[in-house]
Amino acid sequence: MFLLEELSQKYKTISIVGMAKNAGKTTALNYLIEEAMDEGIVLGITSTGRDGESTDLVTGTDKPRVFLDTDTIVSVPTQLYELADAGLEILKMTEYNSSIGQIMLCRVASSGYVQIAGPVINASHQKMCEEMLELGAELVLIDGAIDRKSIAAPGTSDAIILSTGAVLSRSMKKVIEETAHTVGLYRLPVLEDGEDKDIILEHLGEERPMIVGNGDVRILDLTTGLGAGKFLDGQINESTEYIYVPGAFTQSVVADINPRKLKNVTFVLKDPTKIFIDSVSWGQLRKKGLTVKVLENINVAAITVNPSAPGGYAFEHEELLKGMQEAITDIPVIDVML
C-alpha cells in the first residue's frame, strides 16, 4: 500500500510541515500529489501562504513547482489565477482573504502548474478545508508555507507530515537528534481528564499563567511565563500540582525554580508548538525532573527526509534514511527522492 493511500484511510486533512526552510517540504508535497495521480485519489491542495513559485521568495533558491492533475480541488487567490499553467474551473468564491487577493476554490480542468495560496488564520483554514471536502476532495493536503510552528498546531489538521533534512545541520547526528526531539515534543502526553483539567479549561480565556492543585486555582498577575522562574518558584507550595503556561515555553520559564519543587509539579501547555527548547537543553531539564503535559498533542503521520542542503553539502541517502528510521521506529520515514 502506498503511503498516501494508507493516510487517506485514516485522515481527511494533513499538514506538511518543514522543520526549516528547504527541508524538502514542497518536494514531499509533489511526491504525494504523484501518488494521488497513480492511485486515483482526488486531492484538495491549499497552503498557509503562497507556494508553487519556482524560486523561494525568502532565500532566492530554486524550488520545485506544484503540478496538479485534473479534478484536484485547489485554493487560488484572485491575483494568481491568471498565472496558472493549468486550466482552472472556478467552483466557489470564498469569504477568505490572503495578502494577494480573495481566495477562490477551483477544480483543475486540465493538468498543469499552479501557484497556490490560502488564508493565514487557522480557523479560516479549517472552514475552507471542510468546503474542499464537500466539493469532492477525498483528502486535503495543507502546505505549511509560512510558519512551521503555527501550521503544526493540532487544530489545523488531523495529522502532519514532518519534513526534515540536511539543511538543519552539517552533522547527520544533529539532524536526527533534532528531528527525534521535535517528534517527541509533538507526542507529549495529554493531561488526564479530571477536576484540575476542567479548572484549566474553564480559565483558558484569561491567557494568564495559573497554579492549580486539589481543585483550587490561582490566576497569576503575569501576562507570560517568560523570565518568570523566580516568581513561579515563590508561588509553588505543597498543594501545587500543575502550572499552566499560556504562551511560549522556554528555559527562562523554569530556570530559577528550585529543583526539588520542579520535580513535584507538572507544567501544562495548550499544545507542543509552544515549546522553544532545543534537544540538549530539554534533556538536561528532564534530568532535573521537568514534567510537561499538553491539552492537545500533534499526530505525526509520517516523516520525509531530504539528504541535500542548498549550502552545497549532502548526506548519503541510505545512511540518513536508516539513521532516522532507527531513531524513530514507529512512524513511516521515507526519502521521497529515492
pLDDT band at 254 (very low <50, low <70, confident <90, very high): very high
Instruction: Compute the average pLDDT of residues 205-218.
Output: 92
Closest CA to 57 of 11, 95, 26: 26
pLDDT digits (tens, 9 = 90+) for 288-312: 999 999 999 999 999 999 999 988 8
What is the spatial order of strands in the sheet that 101-110 belongs to? 87-98, 101-110, 73-77, 43-47, 139-143, 13-18, 159-165, 300-306, 333-334
Mean pLDDT of 170-175: 96
The per-residue b/e assignment along 304-319, b for 16 or more CB within 10 angstroms, e otherwise, is: bbbbbbeeeeebeeee
Among 53-57, 119-123, 262-266, the range of highest mean pLDDT:
262-266
pTM of the model as a whole: 0.88
> So where are the chain's domains?
3-186+298-334, 195-294
Question: Which pLDDT tens digit goes with each residue over 77-89?
Answer: 999 899 999 999 9
Task: Please identify which residue in the block is written with the cell numbers 523570565.
Answer: 227
8 A C-beta contact, residue 189 and residue 170: no
The domain defined by 195-294 folds into Cytidine Deaminase; domain 2 (3.40.140)
Model confidence at 55, in pLDDT bands (50, 70, 90)?
Answer: very low
Q: 308, 300, 301: which is closest to 27 by C-alpha?
A: 308
Q: What proportion of the chain, given as a percentage, has pLDDT over 70?
A: 93
User: CA–CA separation, 88 vs 110, rounded Å?
Assistant: 7
Tens digits of per-residue pLDDT, 109-131?
A: 999 999 888 887 778 888 999 99
Buried b (16+ CB within 10 A) or exposed e, 76-113: bbeebeeebebebeebbebebebeeeebbbbbbeebbe
Q: Which fold has domain 3-186+298-334?
A: Rossmann fold (3.40.50)
Q: Is the pLDDT of residue 99 over 80?
A: no
Least-confidence region, from 190-194, 225-229, 298-302, 314-318: 225-229
pLDDT computed for residue 60 by the predictor:
35
* 262 SS3 class: helix
